[in-house]
């Protein structure tokens, strides 16, 4: 049987597969590998699979069959010993290993009012903060907080900074922010306490689109610094 995760019932139609605790890239990769394995298995009765940092939520139809049988089926689907080597290799590479989403972002000024505070906290020039933020390839660990909000892993440790002591009541849509060891993008105007370093003109979440979310868990993300003029031009195209 598979080891390394625990299964906890959350409701009559929901299970939580727990792979660890906290924010850890290796654990998160296991979560996404498990999500991919369950999707590939196409198990009868499962209606939704939602990955988080260290856990995987599985919703199922409680009338589809026996709960114990479903637990056994899930466990078997996640047992590496029951998959061929080529399947195991594909799963361990992650859920969306080939998809890279580029995010243009205007840093500082009205777009990123906390950039100077982060530069001071990191004891770095503003330009170096921007350079380090755009130099990294991030991974979408999970979506949450608001529809489509991506929690991104991979932030340069020198840029880590605690959330604001006094959260803002209004954070503009598209704001690129840092909260502790994470970076993320506000998908709509919301209250929030993360440090704002920039803003993207892209519409990150649009309910009217065929695929509302710009991101999916497991995506890779890169930021590209742009100036104010390009921000305006891209904003017009995205409207």
Assign 66 a pLDDT band (cuts: 50, 70, 90). low
Candidates 3.20.20.70, 3.40.630.30, 2.40.100.10, 3.30.70.260; CATH matching 100-238: 2.40.100.10
| pLDDT value, residue 1 | 39
CB 2 within 8 A of CB 79: yes
Q: What is residue 81's DSSP assignment?
A: G
User: Which residue's structure tokens are 């929690």?
Assistant: 151
pLDDT exceeding 70 applies to what percent of the chain?
A: 89
N- to C-terminal Cα distance for the chain? 51
Same CATH topology for 6-92 and 100-238?
no
Q: What is the pTM of this model?
A: 0.78
| pLDDT value, residue 67 | 64
- Is the domain covering 6-92 a CATH 2.60.15.10 domain? no
């Amino acid at each position: 049987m598979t080891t390394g995760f625990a299964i906890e019932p959350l409701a009559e139609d929901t299970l939580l597969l727990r792979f660890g605790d906290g924010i850890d890239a290796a654990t998160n990769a296991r979560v996404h590998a498990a999500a991919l394995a369950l999707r590939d298995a196409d198990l009868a009765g499962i209606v939704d699979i939602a990955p988080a940092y260290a856990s995987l939520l599985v919703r199922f139809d409680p009338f589809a069959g026996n709960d114990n049988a479903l637990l056994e089926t899930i466990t078997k689907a996640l047992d590496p010993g029951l998959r061929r080597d080529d399947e195991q290799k594909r799963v361990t590479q992650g859920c969306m290993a080939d998809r890279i989403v580029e995010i243009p972002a205007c840093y500082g000024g009205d777009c990123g009012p906390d950039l100077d505070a982060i530069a001071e906290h990191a004891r770095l020039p503003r330009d170096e903060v921007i350079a380090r933020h755009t130099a990294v390839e991030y991974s979408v660990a999970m979506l949450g907080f608001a529809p489509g909000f991506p929690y991104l892993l991979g932030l340069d440790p020198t840029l880590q900074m605690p959330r604001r002591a006094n959260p803002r009541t209004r954070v503009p849509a598209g704001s690129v922010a840092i909260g502790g060891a994470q970076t993320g993008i506000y998908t709509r105007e919301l209250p929030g306490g993360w440090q704002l370093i920039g803003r993207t003109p892209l519409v990150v979440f649009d309910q009217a689109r065929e695929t509302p979310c710009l991101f999916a868990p497991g995506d890779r993300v890169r930021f590209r610094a742009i100036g104010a003029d390009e921000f305006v031009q891209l904003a017009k195209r995205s409207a």
